[in-house]
Amino acid sequence: MASTNPKTMPLIGLGTWLSDNEEELDRALETALELGYRHIDTAWIYKNEKVVGRVVKRWLDSGRITRKELFIVTKLPICGIHPEKVAHFLNLSLQNLGLDYVDLYLIHVPFGLDSSGENDPIPISNGKVVIDSRTKLEAVWASMEAVVRNGKAASIGLSNCDSSQIERIVRVAKVPPACLQVEGHVYFQQKELRATCARHGISVCAYSPLGSPGRGDFYQNFGRTFKPLGLLSDSTVVRIAKKHGKSPAQVCLRFLVQQGIAVIPKSVNAQRLKENLQILDFELDSQDMKDLEGLDKGASGRSLKFDFLPGIEDHPAFPKDMK
């Protein structure tokens, strides 16, 4: 279990980014809960919180689960990165989810857009996103703290931030960030960022822990191409998987979890959902870990640079190491 405040976040969660098909996601969530997933990661911007809420309600109403057993994560969207919008967007998410509180509320990105709100989530002008360069992350954090105080979020955290942004928040925080959610996998191990988090007792949750092999369609919608990282066919990963009688995906996930990093692999496939959860019954030895650590490509291993948002790199809060 990764340490978060005040409740413990299960190390393996279900990612739902790009789970756009409602029926498919509904089935996947049913299967995931049956299998024992208790940590569900969603976001307002994914447009699937209502499906998560529908399935959770079915489980709560039938008595198969209690609210306390669940760990539900959602995120303040890019169009809500403003002190006066935090409570509003969290309320929208809670309505969608049909819940009184979320277990963890994350600032989805440190860079906000100059948006009128939920009806214009990604404002574009002259082919570029309309950035809000005035709002300071510290001011947004103060509003995040208020939602902890009023009980609508049990804990709060950050996502897609760099070390300097984390340090800035830690300096002013009355409620410290419980968690940082960032891209993390064998090709992009985020060692420096993880060290910053460790120094401040912030747990790390890795998104795209399998390198997001299914992201191609999403990029195509933006007229872009996604070059898959191919980490599931990496020869070192495949060799270690064979040695343990496990799949490459299980090795990639185990590598992170064994270091205390939470993972949120996305799947809508029953077999893969099961596979992704079965990573606690084997251990990578020190040589395996060393070999896998050797796969780190540093910044060039990053797959998500938000380049589907044209002009976002001009935002002053756009993390330098993402450029």
| Binding-site residue ranges for substrate | 108
Smallest distance, ligand A2P to C-beta of residue 273, A? 7
Minimum gap (Å) between residue 267 Cβ and ligand A2P: 3
The whole-angstrom separation of Cα 57 and Cα 83 is 30
- Our CB check for ligand A2P shows the closer of 148 and 264 to be 264
* 3-state SS record for 73-107: EEEECHHHCCCCCHHHHHHHHHHHHCCCCECEEEE
Closer Cβ to ligand A2P, 37 or 141, answer by number: 37
Rounded CA separation 193/38 (Å): 26
Q: Cα–Cα distance between 47 and 22 in angstroms, integer?
A: 10
Of the two residues 2 and 14, which places its CB atom closer to ligand A2P in the complex?
Answer: 14
Smallest gap from residue 88 Cβ to ligand A2P (A): 29
Smallest separation (angstroms) from ligand A2P to the CB of 231: 9
Q: Between residues 29 and 86, which has the closer beta carbon with respect to ligand A2P? A: 29
46 is catalytic: yes
**Residue 22 token pair:** 């409602």
Residues that bind ligand A2P (CB under 6 A): 15, 208-214, 232, 247, 249, 265-269, 272, 275-276
Spot the catalytic one: 46, 105, 187, 207: 46
Q: How many CB atoms lie within 10 A of CB 79?
A: 26
Q: Are 145 and 173 in contact (CB under 8 A)?
A: yes
Residue ranges with strand state E in 103-207: 104-107, 112-113, 124-125, 128-129, 131-132, 156-159, 179-183, 203-207
Annotated binding residues, written as ranges, equal 108
Q: Residues with catalytic annotation?
A: 46
